[in-house]
Amino acid sequence: MQDFKTKYGPWALVAGASEGLGAAFAEALAKRGLNLILLARRREKLEALAAGLRVRFSVSIRCHALDLADQVQIKTFVAQLEPDVGLLVYNAAYAPIGYFEHIPVDELLKIVDVNIKAPLLLSKLLSTRMLQKQRGGIVLMSSLAGTQGSPKIATYAASKAFNTILAEGLWKELQRHGIDVVASCAGAIRTPGYQQAITTKEAPGTLHPLQVAEQTLNALGRGPTVVPGLTNKIARFLMGRLLPRKLAISIMDNNTKDLS
């Protein structure tokens, strides 16, 4: 824990921290002794989370309401940011469910803004500061949906593929500067959003958010990607390496057709 705090502290920034996996990352980082900067649109949820974490872990926490679809807001926020941020966790995501033909253009573009532009921008701005110290870390949340085309969440899946490839490139580029990068290619996570979207039983390998957060943070410095959960590791190997591409897409189609 102390080594983690020394390398990635004293402050961690968690984008998309109001509930679910983002809240789990905040808890896992607070347990490791890092102070937190929590970002999301709903400040009241951030403040409620922060109040409990301060009591349990005696860390400093700052909450900021921020629209991560707005690059101007992000640039302004980082320019005014004073704490020494040693770790970025980008967990925020926008994931409208529906077939491409039915999703409005504005929603498709918002997927790009939140899931691609924002993590790219925050990684660039915060890694520039980390380079000065020659240490730090970046965690980008990806998804097994980004391993292949995923009907009904096609644009979301494509955005997650972008984050995986970006993290892999940055992992190699930044490691010589003491900065660790990892993409967490998660499967289904028992978050409020996921539980609202499913209409049948949970997908095989569904994990609790804290399991995903802990396994992801433990993977920092060990390689460019991590797949939390044994079932999900097997699924990624099968879908990405063994099965024909058309079959992998058809399997995803069967898994996502009941999402709503």
**Peptide bond before 10: cis, by omega within 30 degrees of 0?**
yes
Catalytic one of 160, 172, 194, 201: 160
CA distance 203 to 42: 28
The answer to whether residue 156 is catalytic is yes
164, 183 Cβ separation under 8 angstroms: yes
Catalytic one of 90, 156, 194, 233: 156
Q: Which residues are catalytic?
A: 156, 160
